[in-house]
Chains A and B, each alone.
Chain A
């Protein structure tokens, strides 16, 4: 990975803002772009992985997202935050790839699910025993699977809103949906996830 030398902080002690880095990229500073990649690499990977459901596709979508961002950054007009714009690219790149793949596994939200009241796994704990770590791994796999099985329209909302922690307004801008539409899809998605994770959470 490259060094960050040449990146001066705007205010001593404070990291340079995304917007400032974007301005520098637009002025031809490529190290500024590398810094943006370092900041968002994991978050973008999480979007592509959650939407695509496998490492190979997620890896390629990760590359496509940043290469596309680099190509179009000169035209970025600061009408939204950089990350909203970047996440929109990541979402679009992933969904295009998903549709091209054409083998999307979609499970009906009305399909019967096991109904159990057992609480076999607890919420994450920082000091985990091996058993807890195993349970945590199982839970993560179960969540991955549950998200993967959601219909696309619900999956993208829950990935951005609940797994990436964006606000309803940010999700509405990324997906070009109204806020009520985001809330409505999120509502359905959460109820479906809750059913799929029953017995694990």
Chain B
């Protein structure tokens, strides 16, 4: 590889990482401010949680052009494109982190809440001393999922088309795309390697030391993690992590200040924003809307949407069952095999980071060649869009089994399925609920790729809500697109109000220990 190519690769790697990091800082602020607020204040909860649910499930990629259009006109020159890219990455990172903080705040032990009330510990001291430390474990694990998942979006957002304009940002994503088009397989391999190396570095130098130190936070036992035990490395890591935990305090201060502003603006501009998008859609696509309205007037669209919802729900349920089928037994296995725990986390972090766009077309081709059922591909992709949220939250959950209970189980020989049912599952429950909620959100989001994909020489479509959304995007039927997206949002809200809200309530009641 020529030197200039190597320099370019290094710069691209740094830039892609920087986009993820900048977006991550915003996600962290949003998570701490909105998550704590929603966990404590039932009024805020009723606004924040449904909005998060809709936003995490809405196929952002579908709306990305609108966001780009707005951001590019707001910020001058290259800045607009950069902001657009970071914004897209943010939409992939923030939601599960907000939900994680929300869950840990909502399940804070009752005696700590009463204590805080009696001694007037509220506002900033409450966040800094109680809510944030309690959220640390969940925040770290959800950060790991978010960081991994960001790679899909950062690579996708580095080539942005807006109408006839196409803008390319220097980064690993655009390098991968370029080298694939130019058939420069050396460069392609190098950029994929650079991406995997980036993930490893972040895992080793950020998440790993943070995990090792997170044992003192949360309500689980002290850290029992076997962090890679190279003494020099551990020493170095713990020194770095001490720096990082020092950083936590200014971050939480900022978060509280930003939190108020974010939450208030959030609440106020939301209706305005919805209106703006609607107006934009109408102005740009007036004719399309009229056509679409006629289509809606005919009950056909609603019928097709209902039918598609059923199909998609079926695939999602299947994907959920597949995810649970490997995650639960693995949790049980890892609970007692601590030495494999960090290894699994690292592997999962890397696997979760590999963008689906790289391997999904291959799966589709294989399905076509071997005459497998077409639904298999879609379900497989949905699994990958769903499982990591559940997996990382489950990994956080297995650390929350109290030490005494663990000892008791060992003494009385409680193991296997009994242990799973009576000890591990109840302890993991809050984390599983959060992971499942975020996982379903991610999977709804993934349906637009899973159910419709176009490749060189093939066209893959399975009937479902996500497929219909992609199809109407491609055909330029804006009205139908808006209709399907709103329909999907409605389905998600309905499911959340009936299913997840109940589960959270149930879990909060079960887990909270009243004095």
Chains A and B come from one and the same complex:
no
Q: Which residues on B are within 8 Å of A, measured CB to CB?
A: none
Q: Which residues on A are within 8 Å of B, measured CB to CB?
A: none
